[in-house]
Amino acid sequence: MQELRDRYIKLNGLCAVDTQRLINTQSELGLTFPESFYEACKFFDGSGCGNFFHNIDRAVEPNIFGETQRLRESISLPNRYLVIGEPPGSLLLIDCEIGSTIWCDASDAPNLAKGGPLRDPTIWNNFYECLEFAIEQEEEESKF
């Protein structure tokens, strides 16, 4: 985790999330964030990484609270999911019940609500793996 933290900070600076704000967001959404996400928020606030992620701070739009609520209302997204990003044409979420991070096609979002299959999603075991992928992409882009 320390190496991931150092790589992120080198690219974006320290962008920690206020612990109480994170706890409040978690509580208001009725979720328990996975440890990997919670720990990453000690240096990562959703910024950087090519705008792959939503902001974690609710004062900045779009943010994880607003987008999770929006999809809960619009497509009946199950409460177990936290929407953490919407890269072009896709959806990035954390399954807070098992801790995995899922990147799927945006057209698959209704399947999440119905418990149906997703077409060729990328699934990371935890948020660290997803964040590492995003940092690798940003490192590659910064070379040019």
Domain boundaries, the chain: 2-142
Distance of CA 106 to the CA centre of its chain: 15
CATH tag for 2-142 (out of 3.40.1580.10, 2.60.120.620, 3.40.50.300, 3.20.20.70): 3.40.1580.10
Q: Which of 90, 68, 70, 91 is nearest to 81 (CA)?
A: 68
Give the residue among 88, 63, 62, 66 at the shortest CA–CA distance from 77: 66
Amino acid 12: pLDDT: 94
What is residue 99's predicted lDDT score, i.e. its pLDDT?
A: 97
Give residue 115's pLDDT.
85
First to last CA, the chain: 26
pLDDT, residue 8, reads 95
- The per-residue pLDDT for 28 is 96
**Rounded average pLDDT per 10-residue block, the chain, 144 residues:** 94 94 95 97 92 90 96 95 95 97 94 89 97 95 80
